[in-house]
Amino acid sequence: MRSNKFKIRLLIGIAIVAFAFIKRCSSKETNPFTGRVQTINMTSDQEIAIGLQSAPQMAQQHGGLHPNESYQALVDNVGNKLVSNSIANQTPYQYEFHLLADPNTINAFALPGGQIFITYALFSKLENEDQLAGVLGHEIGHVLGRHSAERIAESEFWSTVTTGASVGADMGGLVSGIGQQTLLTNGRGDELESDDLGVKFMIKAGYNPEEMIGVMEILKAAAGPNRVPEFQSTHPDPDNRIEKIREAITKYKKTP
């Protein structure tokens, strides 16, 4: 009797895992702007809707928008210049740039569909317009690379596989751990791809891409000597990012 129950559970578990893999395979598509094959299960219109819906809440979490109109105008001008001089203007996304009032959290981030944010804490540490272009170019890269949509799809995949493994063989914990490590690794890949795209956008818009290295130095200093090791972080170590940025600069400066 117990053997029959185990067999039934195993078959159900296998079916759930098979469904996850079939759905994942059917969700593969090539990003026309990066050429990379991704797992995506939402449309660009859905990405835009998610970003617009989430933007007010994200702003609220960081003290709202910064009241200085000239600072905001600078952020808008640099962001729009990057978009208009790159392949970003060929995407369906409507890029909007927001300077957040948060004076403590050194950060910049992008929501799906084109909503891009930078905190005043980071903005105030930047030394010139080129460094601002480096930050915003990186975030535009996240949007164009569809990284949020890809992470959502991959998270759903691993969640379903974990459920199947739990039902079929009580191995949900092991599979979940593998999934988390995979998502962590993929997250670091997203950051490097966005750095690469950011360098490309800077060069196209006439900014000095070397200043992106200055941004990495600022982030490195902000993290301090006790920063989280790369294998535990969704972001690559700043020193590794600097090395890849230098490679990207060499690559794109050779490209006409």
Each residue's pLDDT, cut to its tens digit, for the chain (256 residues) gives: 556 665 665 566 555 545 444 655 555 788 888 888 877 777 889 889 988 999 999 999 999 999 999 999 999 999 999 999 999 999 999 899 999 999 998 989 998 899 999 999 999 999 999 999 999 999 999 999 988 888 777 766 546 545 554 544 454 443 344 334 433 444 678 889 999 999 999 999 999 999 999 999 998 888 765 554 433 445 567 788 899 999 999 999 876 5
> Strand pairing partners for 28?
39
Q: Tell which residue, 51, 168, 174, 188, has the closest CA to residue 113.
A: 51
Say how many CA atoms lie within 13 Å of 34 toward its Cβ.
22
Token pair 């569909």 is found at 113
Say how many CA atoms lie within 13 Å of 48 toward its Cβ.
9
Task: Determine contact, residues 82/197, Cβ cutoff 8 Å.
Answer: no
Q: Is 94 helix (H, G, I), strand (E, B) or coil?
A: coil
Task: Determine contact, residues 241/191, Cβ cutoff 8 Å.
Answer: yes
Count Cβ neighbours within 10 Å for each residue of 219-231 and write b for 16 or more, e otherwise.
Answer: bbeeeeeeeeebe
